[in-house]
Amino acid sequence: MSALVAGAGAVATTSAPAWAVGPESTFLVLAPQGQSTAKAVSRVAAAGGTVVARYDQIGVLVARTTNPAFQSAVAGAGVDAVASTGGLATALDDDETVAVVDSATVQATGDPTGEPLWGQQWDMAQIDVPQAHKVTTGSPDVVVGVLDSGISSTHPDLVTQIAKDKSASCVGGVVDTTEAAWNPTTSDHGTHVAGTIAAAINGVGVAGVAPGVKVASVKVVNDDGFIYPEAAVCGFIWAAEHGMRVTNNSYFIDPWEFNCRNDERQRPVWTAVQRALRYSQSKGVLNVASAGNSNVDLQHKFVDSGSPNDGSFPVEDRTITGACVDLPAEAPGVLTVSAVGPTKQKSYYSSYGQGVVDVTAPGGDTRFRTGGSPSTITDGVLSTTFNTVTKTNGWGYKQGTSMAGPHAAGVAALALSAHPNLTPGALASFLERTSVSLPCPSGVYNPVPKLVGYEATCSGGNRNGFYGAGEINAYNVVR
């Protein structure tokens, strides 16, 4: 296991003086912006801690300690902010698995003219992927980082698609490049995401949006299904230092779902993540993020009554204001994606917000079809899966904004294949300009009016709160 990220200095292992011993805790320690971390490293050691990962590029340290007084002891010259990450994790929004397709059946009933399950990939036809593939399937020089729960390196649709030399686990904020470390252990979420982006055209299973590009597994989800801030920071820096042009982020950071800068528990997390995102953007990375599955208007104030969700603290009723953001979706420079179903209407679960959502993409909607026609499991998104119990690969349906995000990431990869000199800002703008505008539904939107809880109001014109600039389109970015 390596405890370093490329470009980072040696990890401090200096012995610390004796302290009272408590449970081991993890902290983010931030040096002042633009300054060396050397003083912060010394203060960590003096306070009874050990630096396990050092990101000099952004002035952030990940430290572990059994000293209960570490937070106050480490404060001082050379330390701008410090926060325990205990309780600051969120469970992976693992979306709804609505069906699993037996792999043996796939092999036996395949269509010899193409991918066996291509006919069930309504999502690809909806964003003109077949037309795009006649121009390009993508360049192998483009690598998309999948910051998620790991990718199965043995899946027949992905085995040729993974950039193993750029894959790593960032769990705990510490890099581990062994193949076992970045494979899935408790969730196939990342495997499903990877298939949507780049599943191979090989006569087996499904095809991705950009089957000619590569994906890298950047594992940020631990075995309990939680994403801690130090793992996300590590992931962004790893992607930036290893030449990835796009990352897909189908998660949010923080058990309160919304990270409030006016909450001293969370402000250092916001600062550290923001530094990591800015650094990755400076290295040419466009970060794509899902809007979330809470069906909330991210533009307006509301009350969050379901957080924290990890049992770390009692559930609080918090008024979410402009000081609170969904990370990374609401961070500057991030391309935020909402979800639609086969009818091109906002999926019942998708969060939204004018000025927050940039584009929309197929995420599936198996519960409702606007207009009253019945929906089925095939209204979910079909992609690659991995059974973490039996350790077998397969294909199956999921739905969520987590499924919408990788469609946008795949289209971004196609755009870079056709226009390799696009900067992250120009690429985001290009994806928006080439999207197909979708109008707001009139009045209060609810797929089934007799059911309470799915009401939503769309605001804006050609660029609106439900769909942003519109639905991403693969053909428009390559023709």
What distance in Å separates the CA atoms of residue 137 and residue 200, rounded to the nearest whole number? Answer: 10
- Which residues are registered as beta bridge partners of 62? 28, 53
> What are the structure tokens assigned to 26, written together?
């993890």
Q: Are 70 and 64 in contact (CB under 8 A)?
A: no
Q: Is the pLDDT of residue 241 over 60?
A: yes
Secondary structure element (H or E) that encloses residue 473, with its range: none
Single out the residue of 73, 28, 278, 48 nearest to residue 37, CA to CA. 28
Q: Is the pLDDT of residue 301 over 60?
A: no
Radius of gyration of the chain, Cα coordinates, nearest whole angstrom: 22
Q: Does residue 405 or residue 274 have the better pLDDT?
A: 405
> What are the structure tokens assigned to 424, written together?
């992250």
What's the pLDDT score for residue 21? 85
Q: Is the pLDDT of residue 15 over 70?
A: no
Highest mean pLDDT, choosing among 144-153, 268-277, 290-299: 144-153
Residue carrying the six token digits 């299904």: 225
DSSP single-letter state for residue 221: -
Question: Residue 463: how many CA atoms within 13 Å on its side-chain side?
Answer: 11
What's the pLDDT score for residue 434? 98
Q: Please tell me whether the overall predicted TM-score, pTM, comes out greater than 0.75 for this model.
A: yes
Q: Are 217 and 167 in contact (CB under 8 A)?
A: yes
What's the pLDDT score for residue 3? 38
What distance in Å separates the CA atoms of residue 469 and residue 405, rounded to the nearest whole number? Answer: 15
- % of the chain beyond a pLDDT of 70: 80
Find the mean pLDDT for residues 133-146.
98
pLDDT confidence tier of residue 433, bands split at 50, 70 and 90: very high
What's the pLDDT score for residue 446? 84
> Dihedral of the CA atoms 32, 33, 35, 40 (nearest 10)?
40
Query: Phi and psi (nearest 5°) for 232?
Result: -65, -45
Q: Is the pLDDT of residue 61 over 90?
A: yes
Q: Is the pLDDT of residue 25 over 70?
A: yes
Find the mean pLDDT for residues 302-319.
54
- Which residues are registered as beta bridge partners of 439? none
Residue carrying the six token digits 């291509």: 118
pLDDT confidence tier of residue 370, bands split at 50, 70 and 90: low
What lies within 8 Å, CB to CB, of 361 at 6+ separation is 127, 337, 338, 339, 340, 404, 405, 407, 408, 411, 471, 472
What's the pLDDT score for residue 18? 62
Highest mean pLDDT, choosing among 125-134, 226-235, 370-379: 125-134
What's the pLDDT score for residue 175? 97
Write the pLDDT tens digit of every residue in 374-397.
667 889 999 999 999 999 999 999
> What are the structure tokens assigned to 25, written together?
């805790």
Q: Is the peptide bond before 308 cis (omega within 30 degrees of 0)?
A: yes
Mean per-residue pLDDT of the chain: 86
Q: Are 55 and 8 in contact (CB under 8 A)?
A: yes
pLDDT confidence tier of residue 2, bands split at 50, 70 and 90: very low
Alpha-carbon distances of 294 from 24, 192, 257, 261, 400, rounded to whole Å: 33, 21, 10, 21, 10
What's the pLDDT score for residue 219? 98
Find the mean pLDDT for residues 44-62.
97
What distance in Å separates the CA atoms of residue 311 and residue 294, rounded to the nearest whole number? Answer: 19
Write the pLDDT tens digit of every residue in 146-188.
999 999 999 999 999 999 999 999 999 999 999 999 999 999 9
Continuous H helices in 393-439: 401-418, 424-433
Q: Are 279 and 235 in contact (CB under 8 A)?
A: no
Find the mean pLDDT for residues 13-23.
64
> Dihedral of the CA atoms 241, 219, 165, 425 (nearest 10)?
-40
Question: Residue 195: how many CA atoms within 13 Å on its side-chain side?
Answer: 34
Single out the residue of 18, 63, 68, 21 nearest to residue 43, CA to CA. 63
Residue carrying the six token digits 């904004």: 401
pLDDT confidence tier of residue 296, bands split at 50, 70 and 90: confident
